Structure 1
Amino acid sequence: MTYRTIAVILAFMLLGATASLAAGPFTGTWQAEIGLAPLQTMPFSSFTSTLDVGLHIGFLELSSTSDFILDGWLWQQFGMSASLAFISFDGQMLFEPQSGSFLYAQGVLKLSFYPVVFSLYSAMIGPAVSGGPNYGYVVDIYGELLGGVASVESATFIGADLSGISFSQTASSTTSTLLTRTYVTDPTIDSGQICFSGEELTFKATTFGCIDITAVTTFGKTGFTSQEIELSFLHLFDSPLNITLDYVFSLQTASHTFTPSLETDFGCLKIYTDLLGSGGQITGIEIYGIEFSASYAGTTFRSISNLNTTSYVITTPAYGSIIELESDAIANAHLYYSKDYWEIISLEVKTPGMGGTYTFSVDTFFGTSTGLLFDWGKTNMGVSISFGSTFSVSSHIVIDTTGFSAWKIGMSLSW
């Protein structure tokens, strides 16, 4: 059976399921996109599809999220949320369909008595996950003081903390944002027994309208671990200069860091800067990126330039289309364009029609050494049509230095 036949059968199956669910007391969305590679032997280069279905019963909502890619059924998540007066609950369960494995479950119970919120986080990983099966809890108490000027939070770790946990899969297409799932509660920090694992006390306040204070006291199983105090001085002397002082005290060591920064976002013009220096001394300013954007009568023009392709990258639109350190992008699992592209010029035009909106967009990438006119690297052109808020279709083509390299067709349905 060819990939073309599989894709068509899958599309009709999902469309039929969506139509039947839409007739009942359900809400949801279905998004799908197929990528074609005209110059390659394999006609299909990518496929992504996400089906979200929700059932509302009074104060209770049940949900299901199914993710598909070209390699098959990627993730299956079930969720349940409820809210009644001052009590709320939110939970998720994650499965890996290809092996039929249970991966993760999380539940968050909250009791809100403003300005105090009591939260209980619980999480579990399955035997298919490294270190599993395992489970843990976090008891969190948050309160605001002086009308929100200051806040105090206590997080007690019982086999888990709130540092976050991610699940990733490999696939033939590495550019899909569906490959990684991230959750808040991490139950892998301890052995899984019901025992004290640590405590974190956090105090935050804003004083004089220009100083942010954050104090974090951390305890481990054996007692005191560290005390961190961060002072952020904002807009010193009504200038764009910010200074952050970070003091860290442990049982046998003490350290401090001095981090100056500039706020250089002037609305339509944003300059990416980094202050150079060491030991509390500023020796220079590095400008590593420039971004310009302007909108008029439904037309938006945007230009972003990466001036230091050695260390910095431009992230994809799903991650903000910003310039950031390559190391930060990798650490945060942000997708980014090839470092060969140092500038992207975008134009988007939106016009109303037929009860919806027509959108035309073109993104032109310029490289560092293509040898072509203006060092042109590639151009993405696309058009999308939305019919109200329920249905939309889109088509995008990619032309690069090798020719017509990709064609993506997508649709979105809501009910």
Structure 2
Amino acid sequence: MDTELDIQRFFQEVASICTHEQALQEERHRKGENYNLFSILNIERYELKHSALIANLLDPKGSHGCGDAFLRAFFEIALKGTAYPFEDCTLPHSYTEYYTGPIVGDTGGRIDILVKSSRYGLIIENKIYAGDQDKQLIRYDNYGKTDLQADRYLLVYLTLFGNEASKGSTAKGSAKEVDYLCLSYAEDILRWLGQCVRLADNKPLVRESLNQYIRTIKQLTYQDMNEKNIRKIIDLAVDHPEVVATLSSKRDAIAQGIREKYIFAELKEYAAKKGWLYDDSESSYNEKEPKISFRKEGWDGSIIISADSEDKKSNYGWWINLWIGIDSKVTGAKKLACLEKQSPEYPMGWEYLTTPNWYSAENFPAMKESVAEEIINKLDEIIEELGVK
């Protein structure tokens, strides 16, 4: 077998499929089918916005006007046939950012989505870009056990692709000591929303809003390609397993090459134009979190991009759970408005990046096309608010 020739032919056929897909996308654009308010308003990157929308759909008194039909469908489809628990009781209320008390050890925090009645509680931890907090699911599980004031509860961990929670969130030394159910936007939420569209057939505003949200999720989970073209690529991969195996074995090197060519080089050029010092000496695999830093000479601080490694034994040095923040020792420094979060270590602020994983293959397109632009835009915001030219 001529592996090199097979790889060349494989890429030629994939390129042909992608060319056809691009033509379809251009036709959709011409017809206005890509018009999406969620994307225009950049809502897809904010977990709170997703939580608010899902909570409203799950609320029988939500503005959708469909009663508990969407909630029933969630139990039937997303929760895979779990018995509907609200048959013989008062319909539940839905909440976002539900406060369970100050974080103290194994208790406290804010639940992303809570649907509860006197008999049942549905606790949903919604993770799109952010990493887990320490003991986060332990705290919410303890709330369900002791403070929910309901006969039963279910703890759900919702992510883009159905990942399990980190060890630090569930219990030390155990990957899944807390009893919880993993759900994904890529499959579970999309199937549920598809049913919601059918249930809202006689409510055109609700139906079309749901269709736009479905398109948003497909973009977030890299499923916005035409189904026929997806099938062609899958069939091509099945027919050329040796090529797929060769490419898969080189994933780390491919990821590093994409980072260097499309992210690091762009950021280095940006720093040079601004007259800032740029340091990516800790960007390669090492025994610490990878890091890039930007610093204006004479300024007591740095803008850094680094990783929030959830397991320092297995993924130290990986570009996973990435965030941007300001490392500053300025006394009395205040949080910047352009950064979402704050901590004692980063009083001026920090936030997760829209593409917080520069290691997984599903993020390669974004790493090529949009990551550097996002970071540069955020750097511009930070520099402007800091007033450091």
Higher helix proportion, which one?
A: 2
Which TM-score bucket, shorter chain as reference? under 0.3
TM-score, normalised on structure 1? Answer: 0.22
Greater length-normalized contact order (CA 8 Å, ≥ 6 residues apart): 2
Q: Which protein has the larger Cα radius of gyration, Structure 1 or Structure 2? A: 1
* TM-score in terms of structure 2 length: 0.23
